[in-house]
Amino acid sequence: MVVDFSNQQGTQQMSELSVVIVAQDSEQRAVLQVLVDGTSVARTVHTCATFPIGATDPVVRRIQSANPDVVLVDIPSDNVGLALRAIELIHQELPKPALFAIGAMSQAQVIVNAMRSGAREFIERPTTTTDLLEAFVRLTTAQRKVTREGQQRGKIYTVVNAKGGSGATTCAVNLALALQAAHGGVALVDIAPLGHTALHMNLKPLFNVADAIRNLHRLDSSLLESFMTRHERGLQLLAGTNTPGPVEPSTAEFARLFDMLAAQFSYVVVDASTRMDATTRLVCNLSETVLLVASTDVASLWSAARVQQFLGENSGRERVMLVLNRFRKIAGFSESDAEAAAGVKLLWKIPNQYFAVSTAIDRGIPLMNQNHTEIARSFTALAHRLTENDVDVKRRAWSLFKTV
């Protein structure tokens, strides 16, 4: 990776971070210590040669005594399980320090598992001083943005089609606008093979998600926002590509992008449309809820069952929820029949107003801009349903790069 040092003000103002390194391999411990100290913004205060295996393990007490800002945990390829358990244990027993995992970026499931265990950052192995410096800068920047104790990172909601034409983009656009109206601080991200969200909102983006990915090596909150297009109602759109890309970004690159989005926005709505690949599965695994959009016809519900199996192949099926679009009552066919056919619990029903929807798309005027309609009220209620416990229930932050 290459970092842009044209503006180093952020690093110059950083106070020195104290770091504990946990790595079984002695050579890796030594290398990481040199790299940490070489950033000039952090120093190693302790190293551990073994992974803790329990709350009373002396390693946990030694880390606690060091009072670090960051704990680096190396994930060796031959002992992944023990390293992930160590991350989870340290996170549980010592919630204050930020946990950075060091491992192979080629193993997407290890990245997701590290996230679930409590890692805030996942840094490529072998690591460079630049990689660590970037991570330290992101950490201190995020800390400065915290304005009240217990502030949480943003939630991601991913919208996926059961089959082409089910209405995922319509749902994503209007859900995002409903969340923006209710809470503010919302981003809409289009990762569909061909992005249509901008068309739905009559926007003409200068940049898209591919531009953000290409500039990950120097991406900060200001640059990220410059790649986004602002809707008149305040929603920020990171548009999809308008031509099929010859080279797809890696899942690790998307993970890094969504880390920044979750740090910057209260809610992130993702339109995956019909995209079914490792990236969609990763983003769904990072999501609070996955909205699987289907109709009540046999083909759509059959497809929904296959999509939910794909998305939940490794874990996370409980996050996939069914949204019945263009809903109309059918004699002899109940909501429980739809759930049984799709293998997914029903979250919401969107009324069948085909003419209103098609007109909104053709004119580039989202349904939420016509808030007196029944279907707009439905999206407003869906947004409320998804966020009704946010104030009262403290949720565990899910992000790959965990909240501090």
Query: 155-386 domain in CATH 3.40.50.300?
Result: yes
Top-confidence residue, 167 or 390? 167
- Helix intervals (H) in 146-297: 168-183, 197-200, 209-214, 221-226, 251-264, 278-285
Q: What is the pLDDT of residues 250-280, one digit of tens each?
A: 677 788 888 889 888 999 999 999 999 888 8
Q: What is the pLDDT of residues 187-225, one digit of tens each?
A: 999 999 889 999 999 999 999 998 898 888 888 888 888
16-145: which CATH architecture?
3-Layer(aba) Sandwich (3.40)
pLDDT, residue 240, reads 92
* Six token digits for residue 128: 């460079």
For residue 404, pLDDT over 60 is answered with no
pLDDT, residue 286, reads 82
| Comma-separated ranges of CATH 3.40.50.2300 domains in the chain | 16-145
Distance (Å, whole) CA 27 – CA 3: 26
Decide: residue 82, CB within 10 A, 0-12 exposed, 13-18 middle, 19+ buried. middle
Q: Which residues pair with 291 in a beta bridge?
A: 159, 321
pLDDT, residue 242, reads 83
Percent of the chain with pLDDT over 70: 86
Q: Which of 401, 192, 398, 404 is nearest to 315 (CA)?
A: 398
| Cis amide bond preceding 366, omega within 30 | no
* Six token digits for residue 393: 């229930």
**218: which DSSP letter?**
G
pLDDT, residue 14, reads 44
pTM of the model: 0.63
| Comma-separated ranges of CATH 3.40.50.300 domains in the chain | 155-386
Is the Cβ–Cβ distance between 251 and 282 less than 8 Å?
yes
For residue 403, pLDDT over 80 is answered with no
pLDDT, residue 217, reads 80
Distance (Å, whole) CA 48 – CA 217: 30
Q: What is the pLDDT of residues 341-393, one digit of tens each?
A: 888 899 999 998 888 888 888 888 898 887 678 888 999 999 999 998 875 33
Q: What is the pLDDT of residues 334-355, one digit of tens each?
A: 778 888 888 889 999 999 888 8
